[in-house]
Chain A
Amino acid sequence: DTAVSQTPKYLVTQMGNDKSIKCEQNLGHDTMYWYKQDSKKFLKIMFSYNNKELIINETVPNRFSPKSPDKAHLNLHINSLELGDSAVYFCASSLGTGGGNEQFFGPGTRLTVL
């Protein structure tokens, strides 16, 4: 019944490692997002896909690479992890791309880089 799910919920890893976070939505939405929420709770958009096509690509290090195999899935791969990557990463989805569309968020993945 979960609308937007993310795995894993917690991820603890060493600097320099490569890791992936997976996201799936069962709402039939066309648009999916990745956000980063830092320790001050500021929620910042990283990427957005609409029907598997990248539509938002914010100023994010190219160590971060999103992949959307189909419109229900949006995964995030991070290479060469750094201490500053520690944050909570949220996946979200919405029916359309315009403002006013409700975004449904997953429970978040807390990434800790040691």
Chain B
Amino acid sequence: TQLLEQSPQFLSIQEGENLTVYCNSSSVFSSLQWYRQEPGEGPVLLVTVVTGGEVKKLKRLTFQFGDARKDSSLHITAAQPGDTGLYLCAGYTGGFKTIFGAGTRLFVKA
């Protein structure tokens, strides 16, 4: 069974702080995606990483794919209340199916 474990499950921080969330698996992924989901809405894609060791930046968000393509991290610099949401990682190993992690719920207090 392919599993994606995300940590921490829940994170509550003050505006301006930095944070990192993790996505780990024993499986090797062809590609890995990060989505953000806000309450009452569906997930929205933030980034796709495909190469081991790849780093992508999206404004204050930095995404890294592990060298072995089994794990990924999302680092947010100077978090803002607008970053509040559920962050989901999703891995693809082949075939048609993408596996989602259980998510990290982030709350940024003003």
Within the complex, which residue of A4, A41, A56 is in contact with B42, where a contact is CB–CB below 8 Å?
A4
B interface residue numbers (CB < 8 A to A)? 29-31, 33, 37, 40-45, 48, 50, 86, 88, 91-94, 96-98, 100, 102-103, 105
Nearest opposing residue in chain B for A31, CB measure: B96
A43 within 8 A of B: yes
A18 within 8 A of B: no
CA A29 to CA B106, docked complex, whole Å: 31
Indicate if the CB atoms of B40 and A108 lie closer than 8 Å.
yes
Indicate if the CB atoms of B93 and A105 lie closer than 8 Å.
no
CA A85 to CA B1, docked complex, whole Å: 23
CA A43 to CA B97, docked complex, whole Å: 13
Indicate if the CB atoms of B42 and A108 lie closer than 8 Å.
yes
Contacts A41-B103, A107-B41 known; 4 new A-B pairs at CB < 8 A: A98-B92, A102-B48, A106-B42, A107-B42
Query: Total number of A-B contacts with CB less than 8 angstroms?
Result: 63
Known: A41-B102, A100-B30. A90 touches B42 (CB 8 A): yes
- Size of A's binding interface in residues, CB under 8 A: 25
Q: Which residues of A contact B91 (CB under 8 A)?
A: 99
A interface residue numbers (CB < 8 A to B)? 4, 35, 40-45, 48, 50, 55-56, 90, 92, 97-100, 102-108
Q: Which residues of A contact B102 (CB under 8 A)?
A: 40-42
A52 to chain B, nearest CB (A): 15
B14 to chain A, nearest CB (A): 23
Within the complex, which residue of A90, A97, A99 is in contact with B31, where a contact is CB–CB below 8 Å?
A99
Nearest opposing residue in chain B for A44, CB measure: B100
Some 16 contacts from A to B, beta carbons below 8 A apart, are: A41-B86, A43-B88, A44-B100, A50-B96, A55-B96, A56-B96, A90-B43, A92-B42, A99-B91, A99-B93, A99-B98, A100-B33, A102-B33, A102-B48, A104-B45, A108-B42
